[in-house]
Amino acid sequence: MLLTPLIEKKRDGGRLTPDELRTLLGAYMEGTLAEYQMSAFLMAAFIRGLDPEELSVLTRAIIASGMRLDFGDGGAPAVDKHSTGGVGDKVSLVLAPLLAEAGLRVPMMSGRGLGHTGGTLDKLEAIPGFEVDIGLDRFRAILDEVGCAMIGQTEEIAPLDGRLYALRDVTGTVPSPALIAASIVSKKVAEGIEALVLDVKCGRGAFMPDAARGHALARKMVDLAAAEGVRATALLTRMDAPLGHTVGNALEVGEAIETLRGGGPADLREVTLALGAELLVSAGRATEVGEAATRLATILETGAPLGRFARLIEAQGGDPLVADDPGRLPVAPVQVPFPSAGAGWLDIHARLVGLASVELGAGRRRFDDAVDPTVGFEFHRAAGDQVAEGETLVTIHAADTSGAATAANRLTEAIEVSDEPIPPRPLILERVGDGVPAES
């Protein structure tokens, strides 16, 4: 079969049959379809979209390109969570050990920062010695021992997605709802989990700027996961301002440790408990989310999940003492206060903060850029707070004074002090559920 006409067909708004799409994807995996040709197809799919059958075929092809793990051994239910990406989003660092402490298994495969958003793997690697690139045998052993494990995507799991993801990152095709859905769901299904919760970020700091588009993506992913045998729900959560008080890898690890100890910012706790409650219910360990959230909050108050996080760190080669002493995390050599330019009510633009953190070195402009784990922002006041002129709003953590000065300039764009109070903005916008697995 000639391949170029298939790209042209999608470019012109046509629908590829299952055989045509499988042929195209298979040729790419075999090396007979060039990278530039697949890039052209991805752009066509981005512009024209994929219909439900095309989306299903793509998802199943990604799953079939590698191994599918199996946790059907009669042990604790295997569950996972995925976020579509935000600023200051360190929920996974808290949620995985919390769920393990609640009796679930969490085989979590995470990603690196993308664009202005942070990545769980980059945060974990801020812990001295922590290894995210480990084999599946060690992954399973850690999961059996600790109850959770947090690693990067391996070559054995959904390798087609890894290749497509790299192309999307450099061709401007990341925000496609269909390609996002296929990428996320395929990896999670291949993990062998039975329940999934999706944190779909909406707002000016998210890839989905409005709730309507977020709902459509959530609905697509929930239904797609259910069709592959995974019970799924999604929460649309607000990402207008950064989540929590810190943005930057080591800083966010420190804040996650504070939360696992029973403290932490209220917004981070709220999102973490809401997502965890969905998984307890989906896994059959609670009957309703209110009860589940209360149980998880009680566990979090004990501080026990912090001990499990320390065990996870040690099992994956890191320094477990950071759990008791976050001062062992790497620290930026330059710390500069950023004062309020006026008096009034504070607003913080998440996307602009995320871009400023990337410029500091906390994220990547290019796929192969190195990340500085020490740099970022420590916010002393939250969006909606009333502040005084000259009050320190942020501490900038930078590698040098030049970087700190540039970051301060960026913060003047990201932070606004208004004369009028800012109305409260709910964090949890909507629940999208009923992702009941189809009968096999």
Would you please indicate which residues are annotated as catalytic (active-site) residues? 82, 161, 168, 183, 187
Go through 357-392 and write b for each residue having 16 or more CB atoms within 10 A of its CB, e for each that does not: bbbbbbbbeeeeeebbbbbbbbbebbbbeebeeeee
Residue 67 burial by CB count (10 A; 0-12/13-18/19+): exposed, middle or buried? middle
Q: Which residues contact 263 (CB under 8 A, 6 or more apart)?
A: none
* CA–CA gap between residue 262 and residue 269 (Å, rounded): 9
Please tell me what DSSP assigns to residue 208: B
415-418/334-339 β-pairing: unpaired
Report the amino acid identity of residue 183: S
Among candidate residues 254, 243, 264, the one with its CA nearest the CA of residue 331: 254
* CA proximity to 210, closest of 382, 426, 429: 429
Q: How far from 342 is each of 9, 33, 145, CA to CA, in Å?
A: 57, 58, 53
Residue 28 has which token pair? 């790419």
- Of 26, 191, 170, nearest to 6 (Cα)? 26
Residue entry with tokens 């909606």: 384
Q: What whole-number distance in Å separates Cα of residue 277 and Cα of residue 271?
A: 10
Say if residues 339 and 391 touch (Cβ distance below 8 Å): yes
* Strands of 175-328, DSSP E: 195-202, 231-238, 246-247
Distance of CA 398 to the CA centre of its chain: 24
**Residue 388 corresponds to which tokens in the numbers above?**
């005084």
* Sheet architecture: strand order including 386-387: 386-387, 344-348, 415-418
